[in-house]
Structure 1
């Protein structure tokens, strides 16, 4: 037995609409026919934002949206990809910093630890997702900022 409840997502409607528009553009680019997806772009955007903001497990997201877990993962990764595609490339960031007159930029990063990503590397016994510094598996996320710390 389960209990149904309502919840609010701590994000503006504009954010959901923005992500939804990105998903809609991606579906157009792929030639996805209308009505062939279990979720519309708006509901898919909410799925992605719930995962990002609340860390809701994919199994729960799939149940809440009445899709399979594999479809939930596909929707999540499609959403993450369209959001990530909005980030500028390294050369664009460095050019913008130069044009803004910055004498330097800062680079900082963090390891997001995981126990689910393992990929053998070219050297036997060395895993591509292993961080020797942190002695754990994970993804390295980095950001380039202006001298005042504002992300570029």
Structure 2
């Protein structure tokens, strides 16, 4: 087997942050000696999330077993995800920040599934995956990420399950969304139909222009290669996205 050095496009403060969480967790549970110290464990997990390195490759590189690498990743992801802001807190913080509006959007996390798994198949994207709902600021910063639902669940139903628009309406935050949220009585969505009058066409252009920067929040999640195609349990998509959200906050 060959070994080589590689760069990880993350800051030192992120590594220190994750290592600190692991160190405090080990102290709280009275963990004894481990093969990797908190800093090495943090680096292993970050490489897995950011670059999508397989557990077998990481295990070989760090000199541990595959099962140990799996356990380190699961432990750290759970610790990070627990720090992700809850919906009510995220909406409250957005209100306090004075944003002119927020954007609600859905994204599909592709998964490694066969055609027989219909509940995971998204007709919109023509692939199997998990539906995540994201609230973003006008500048494209992620404010909140939902848990995971099967890809067959429509965006409008997904936001209803999580109570996203109800919470935003209660806070009085102006909310923009795409046509996937048709039927919402609160979110501002584009006009539909052919042969629209010029006023509606201009309104749709303005709507798209306001929404475009915020929709890059989903691209930020996909910058972490682990979310480009999940090869683990599909239901872990939400926890992974929440952990990545916490790391994005540290990187900002």
Asked whether 1:20 is paired with 2:19, we answer: yes
Equivalent residue for 1:149? 140
Structure having greater relative contact order (Cα 8 Å, sep ≥ 6): 2
Q: Which position in structure 2 is the counterpart of 1:52?
A: 49
Deviation at 1:68, TM superposition (A): 1.9
Aligned to 1:122: none
- CA offsets 1:50-81 (integer angstroms, 9 cap, x no match): 11221111110111122221221111111222
Aligned to 2:58: 61
Give the length in aligned residue pairs: 141
- Once residues 146 and 54 of structure 1 are traced to their aligned partners in structure 2, the CA distance between those partners, rounded to angstroms, is 26
Task: Name the counterpart of 1:100.
Answer: 97
Q: Tell me the secondary structure at the aligned position of residue 133 of structure 2.
A: strand
What is the Cα deviation at residue 5 of structure 1?
Answer: 2.1
Q: Which has the higher mean CA deviation after the structures are superposed, 37-46 or 135-144?
A: 135-144
* Structure 2 counterpart SS, 1:86: coil
Unmatched tracts of structure 1, length 5 or more: 118-124
Compare CA radii of gyration and give the structure with the larger one: 2
The secondary structure found in structure 2 opposite 1:139 is strand
> Secondary structure of 2:140's match?
coil
Matched, 1:30 2:21: no
CA deviations over 1:31-61 (Å, ceiling 9, x no partner) = 323x1x2211111111111112211111101
Give the Cα–Cα distance (whole angstroms) in 2 for the partners of residues 27 and 107 of structure 1. Answer: 37
- Determine the structure 2 residue equivalent to 1:74: 71
1:116 to partner: Cα distance? 5.4
Calculate the TM-score normalised by the size of structure 2.
0.50
**13-22 vs 105-114, greater mean Cα deviation:** 105-114
Q: TM-score, normalised by structure 1?
A: 0.78
State the SS of the aligned residue for 2:142.
coil
Question: 1:5 & 1:149 partners in 2: Cα distance?
Answer: 35
Cα deviation, 1:1-41, whole Å, max 9, x if unaligned, reads x22222222222221111101111222233323x1x22111
CA RMSD of aligned residues (A): 2.3
- Per-residue deviation, 1:141: 3.2
Separation in structure 1 between the aligned mates of residue 37 and residue 74 of structure 2, nearest angstrom:
15
Runs of at least 5 residues in structure 2 that lack an aligned partner in the other structure: 144-252
